[in-house]
Chain A
């Protein structure tokens, strides 16, 4: 089966610092990747996505980097704010259909 793993289960950062959340994926054929944020009591919220024909994509305060050579995905959050505290999941998809495989998640805590 698929394996999407995260290097660190927890991450604490000071407010205003940049955060980097990492994710390793196992299927070299995966062609679409998404980062989700999940706050307590809510469903996962889409943050940013990237397709395999790109290696970097930027959004508002967030950047996703994709390194297909080592099958690694990262999410960078600039100027982290208390509202960024949540669990972050990476998800990968291979081929047609909409079946995504999710990582186990990283819990980000922002210290005011």
Chain B
């Protein structure tokens, strides 16, 4: 059974640009969540989707957005990139609500 797949694995962008990250959850998993991981802040919740609906959103500026498609695949977008957006972005999927996650390996974003 394939795990959670995130693409790309590594990305380098320039300040001011925008970026789109992709996540394919485990087959059958309908809940997808995104986290930002940095050495200083640890794992910070970005948003959670279930059946194409955003159920929860973390305390991030509006430059961070996401969506989920009918096949449960999800994308997150960051516009007007700042140096502080450099981080590991992790996607996690779950069979349903109130279950633990399976994480992907993440996308390492570097903003220069």
Q: Residues of A at under 8 Å CB distance from B?
A: 1, 32, 34, 36, 41-46, 49, 89, 91, 93, 96-105
Residues on A with C-beta less than 8 A from B58 are 99
Please determine whether A104 and B97 come into contact, CB atoms closer than 8 angstroms.
Answer: no
Most buried by A among B59, B97, B101: B101
Closest Cβ neighbor of B104 among chain A residues: A43
Please determine whether B105 and A46 come into contact, CB atoms closer than 8 angstroms.
Answer: no
Does B64 make an interface contact (CB < 8 A)? no
Known: A44-B90, A46-B101, A100-B45. 14 other contacts (CB 8 A): A32-B98, A34-B100, A43-B92, A43-B104, A44-B101, A49-B100, A91-B43, A96-B98, A97-B55, A97-B56, A98-B31, A99-B33, A102-B42, A104-B42
Q: How many angstroms between the C-alpha atoms of A91 and B94 in the bound complex?
A: 15
Please determine whether A98 and B55 come into contact, CB atoms closer than 8 angstroms.
Answer: yes
Interface size class of B (residues with CB under 8 A): 20 to 34
- The residue that B98 contacts in the complex, of A89, A98, A105, with Cβ under 8 A, is A98
Please determine whether B48 and A97 come into contact, CB atoms closer than 8 angstroms.
Answer: yes
Known: A89-B43, A104-B42. A99 touches B48 (CB 8 A): yes
Please determine whether B33 and A46 come into contact, CB atoms closer than 8 angstroms.
Answer: no
Question: Of residues 60 to 98 in B, which have CB atoms within 8 Å of A's CB atoms?
Answer: 90, 92, 94, 97-98
Residues on B with C-beta less than 8 A from A93 are 98
Residues on B with C-beta less than 8 A from A49 are 100
Residues on B with C-beta less than 8 A from A98 are 31, 33, 48, 50, 55-56, 94, 97-99, 101
Please determine whether A43 and B105 come into contact, CB atoms closer than 8 angstroms.
Answer: yes
30 contacts between A and B (CB under 8 A): A1-B59, A32-B98, A34-B100, A34-B101, A43-B4, A43-B92, A43-B104, A43-B105, A43-B106, A44-B43, A45-B103, A46-B100, A46-B101, A46-B102, A93-B98, A96-B97, A96-B98, A97-B55, A97-B56, A97-B97, A98-B31, A98-B48, A98-B50, A98-B55, A98-B56, A98-B94, A98-B97, A98-B98, A100-B33, A105-B42
Residues on A with C-beta less than 8 A from B99 are 98
Top-6 shortest CB links A-B: A43-B103, A102-B43, A99-B56, A44-B103, A34-B100, A104-B42
